[in-house]
Structure 1
Amino acid sequence: MFEFELPDLGEGVAEGEVLEWHVAVGDTVTEDQVLAEVETDKAAVDVPSPVDGVVRELHAEAGDVVQTGELLVTIEEDGEREAAESGATETASEEASADETTTDAAPTVTTGDGRVFAAPSVRRLAREEGVDITAVEGSGPGGRVTEADVEAAAEAAENDDGPTSVVSKISDDEDDGPTSVVSRVGDDGESPTDDEAQAVKSAVRKVSAAEPMAERRERTLATPATRRLARELDVDIDAVPTDETRDGEPYVDEAAVRSFAEAEAAEVTDEDVREVTEAVVSEMQSIADEAAESTTAVEAAEGDRREPYRGVRRAIGEQMTRSRREVPHATHHDKVAVPGLVEARDRLQPLAEERGVHLTYTPFLLKCVAAALDDHPILASQLDAENEEIVYKADRNVGVAAATDHGLVVPVVEDVDEKGLLELATEVNDLVDRARSRDIAREEMQGGTFTVTNFGTIGGEYADPVINVPETAILGVGALKERPVAEDGEVVAKPTLTLSLAIDHRVIDGADAARFVNTLKEYLADPTRLLLE
């Protein structure tokens, strides 16, 4: 087994983060095949395999930080290579002796099996420059071959009229980004072979396709953690301003990256936000639509009962699904003491009965809601997404949610602000009765601009009501009962109502919701205020 340790990836580099594995356990690899991409504080580099064989174990996962010299991967070498191990040293010695007798080059520093000590980046540089790395004397620690050694060898070869490596670089005044085109010219002037071209391409790092920034650097030092943060924040680390240096090179830390990201975010326009929001909402809606279309059969056991899901129940379900899918709900909860409301209803109820009208709290509630909507018209609005407009409705048509045996229905009481209490009471009672007997027309459940659901008549204090789209708000009212209230430093029992106002957060802000509820509370606490309107 060949135990491959993380090699020296550059002078002064002590560790690297495994960005991505290009092989898995059981894969067959060849010498120089890329095993993994590792990022240091200076660059992201490809780590090639030093031998032919089969990967038996990966000793790190993507995201792990591995120290230089720490075990990275175990490779089982090919049988042929194992058989040749015994003669490797002798062959290497003979080749070195032959080189000494025929050239002036210094002896190479190799491992026991004839391999050269050199970092992957140095090997790539040698391939780019057309330099035989086995013929280069290493000047680094332990005889390692450095980039300077390869560059010196390439320069010496050029002076000897040997093959020349010509790298085309884009000039500063051209429009496009840096190119990755490297042309190799030999003595015969022929184009590089496919193998040579592939080797060159793998040695050239791809750069961003975006237009280069005026202040963008070509090289920046940063720790792997900082580079990971830059990727998460979508920050070009070479564009982050810095006055710090390490070994004469610009250095960027996490604080600088975060500061730059915040500055970039501050420059985001409303149009940017709108485009991103629309894209996210569209994607979420697509996911929801796919989920809605994928139905799963439900197994029924003995004793279970089935009934058709259709008619009103299905229409309600589809409406509620659409509301939750399209509308970002936010709910504002509050409580109000209403002794004035109770007193007003108790005083007027006998007079209403004399006229044959059963007066509940609902007409009072509708009148208070209509008055509050006049003060805060944003709550009586609809969103026209197609035309990108908010429509402020002039009519005070309020829907009254009613529980029936066949589901929740919402008859609409039109022009609440123009009708008296007795007229409203008569109309509400008639609509609800006909809704429960299924004798209500479809048109009588359309055209609402705001909805009230009084779940307190059944039980409960607070809820999270679902908006009746295309409306942008719905008020849920809890049970009317005595609750403890602080008054003049003492706790007293008073009749109170609990309020749950759900809003479409695309149109209505939380502050608008709070102001509306505050106004509504004033009217509910003292309904005689309506006489001033």
Structure 2
Amino acid sequence: MATYKFKLPDIGEGIAEAEIVEWHVKVGDVIEEDAHLADMMTDKATVEMESPVAGKVVKLAGEVGDQIAIGSVLVEIETDGESPVEEPAPESDEEMPIADGAEEPTEAQEEELPVMDKAEAPAPAPAPSPEPEPEPQAKGAHVLASPTVRQRARDLGIDLAQVKTTSDRVRHADLDAYLLYNGGSVSHGGSATRADETIKVVGMRRKIAENMQAAKRKIPHFTLVEEFDVTALEDTRAMMNKDRGDNPKLTVLPFLITAMAKALPAWPMLNATYDDEANVITRHGAMHLGMAAQTDSGLMVPVIKDAHGKSVWQLARDINRLAGEARTGKIARDDLQGATISLSSLGPMGGITSTPVIAPPQVAIIAVNKMQELPVIEDGELVAKKKMNLSLSCDHRVVDGWDAASFLQEMKSFIENPIRLLSA
């Protein structure tokens, strides 16, 4: 027997260590080659570690939440070899599989996959004998499943090893079948009592907690809310979507970003970063927009670089690409850095108003609240108008209330006049 030492590879330029987000094996497990060992995270990018050998896990480097140095041994695996083996740390992670199911097809894609059976044979074939019913694995056995399936199983209190599947991994459809045939159902008259659960704050959730705590502790926030009439803008958006051709479908966000870009030059203190240790404010000429995106692991903020120089169609493409890469864990580190101002939106769930938290060293963030059709008196007539509130939070050490209010009014003049907004 020999011991294979799997070292934590270099998973990003300039990265010295990574955090253990989740173990997928434990000491004593017998694993196959390419088995999912652990999820490691750094700078909000999560990477799956897979075993290059088969064998028995004999040692793990630490617990969830521990920081592991690049190049140090992460897992020791007992193999059938004759001498101890060490895994050299790769120089790059370009081919490293990404967490959150980056290579796993979505459920919609699964439905579109062709089913290969005897129907394609040139002549009728005898009816196949019934396949044996899939059996659940032993309790505690390692089961392949995407992070979203694992989270759902944890929420439902289901041991994945007891879920039958006809494929190489447990999918959402397998969980549905398990619930159906084991007496589980969704109750419409109330929810069952769940046991208390203690959750260790690690990974992205820990980083979010630290960043938000630092922001609220160090930055004196103030928030202004302004109501915008988006009736004409919505008519313009509908017209552009009707004739969009190969362009992506436009949401309201590209128009709001364009309005921000047009309004900021007159109020440069909002498109700034503040180094409070050096007492230096940098007013940025370019607008690099941080765009909050919700993922299964928590909130991420991809950055649309040079947003001020892009059309609404180009912005729509960037929004779709960055949001998709953030949700699948494929986003590059460079796409998470360099924001000069941020925008946060919950779409139709956005509420009437909100108080967004600034991401230092930025000094301003806008939150988009939900759109509503409301009755308005106009020229003595009662008419229906589409209204939406924007909430602007600013760092009061840098931005004065007058500047913030003036900036919102400038944005308002663009949003409520789409022709002016879209003109060069």
1:31-50 mapped onto 2 (5 Å cutoff): none
**Who is 1:344 aligned against?**
236
Deviations 1:266-301 (A, max 9, x none): xxxxxxxxxxxxxxxxxxxxxxxxxxxxxxxxxxx9
Larger Rg: 1
The equivalent position to 2:384 in structure 1, one of 493, 500, 521, is: 493
The equivalent position to 1:420 in structure 2, one of 302, 308, 311, is: 311
Q: Quick one: higher RCO (CA 8 Å, sep 6+), 1 or 2?
A: 2
Q: CA deviation at 1:531?
A: 4.0
1:279-298 mapped onto 2 (5 Å cutoff): none
Contact 2:350–2:368 (Cα < 8 Å) also in 1: no
Contact 1:467–1:504 (Cα < 8 Å) also in 2: yes
Contact 1:365–1:524 (Cα < 8 Å) also in 2: yes
**Matched residue type, 2:231:** P
**Matched residue type, 1:509:** D
- Segments of structure 2 that go 5 or more residues without pairing to the other structure are 1-192
CA distance in 2 between counterparts of 1:465 and 1:313 reads 18
Q: CA deviation at 1:524?
A: 1.0
**Who is 2:299 aligned against?**
408
Contact 1:368–1:527 (Cα < 8 Å) also in 2: no
Alignment pair present for 1:361 and 2:248:
no
Deviations 1:44-70 (A, max 9, x none): xxxxxxxxxxxxxxxxxxxxxxxxxxx
1:37-436 mapped onto 2 (5 Å cutoff): 303-352=195-244, 354-436=245-327
Contact 2:356–2:391 (Cα < 8 Å) also in 1: yes
Q: Calculate percent identity across the aligned residue pairs.
A: 38
Alignment pair present for 1:448 and 2:343:
no
CA distance in 1 between counterparts of 2:375 and 2:401 reads 27
CA distance in 1 between counterparts of 2:297 and 2:337 reads 18
Deviations 1:220-267 (A, max 9, x none): xxxxxxxxxxxxxxxxxxxxxxxxxxxxxxxxxxxxxxxxxxxxxxxx
**Matched residue type, 1:304:** D
Instruction: Give the TM-score normalised by the residue count of structure 2.
Output: 0.53
- Segments of structure 1 that go 5 or more residues without pairing to the other structure are 1-300
Greater helix share, structure number: 1
CA distance in 2 between counterparts of 1:363 and 1:302 reads 42
Runs of 4+ residues deviating >3 angstroms:
none
**Matched residue type, 1:501:** L
**Matched residue type, 2:230:** V
Contact 1:461–1:477 (Cα < 8 Å) also in 2: no
3-state SS of paired residue (1:478)? strand
CA distance in 2 between counterparts of 1:510 and 1:368 reads 20
CA distance in 1 between counterparts of 2:212 and 2:278 reads 24
Contact 2:247–2:313 (Cα < 8 Å) also in 1: no
CA distance in 1 between counterparts of 2:333 and 2:207 reads 12
**Who is 2:398 aligned against?**
507
3-state SS of paired residue (1:323)? helix
Greater strand share, structure number: 2
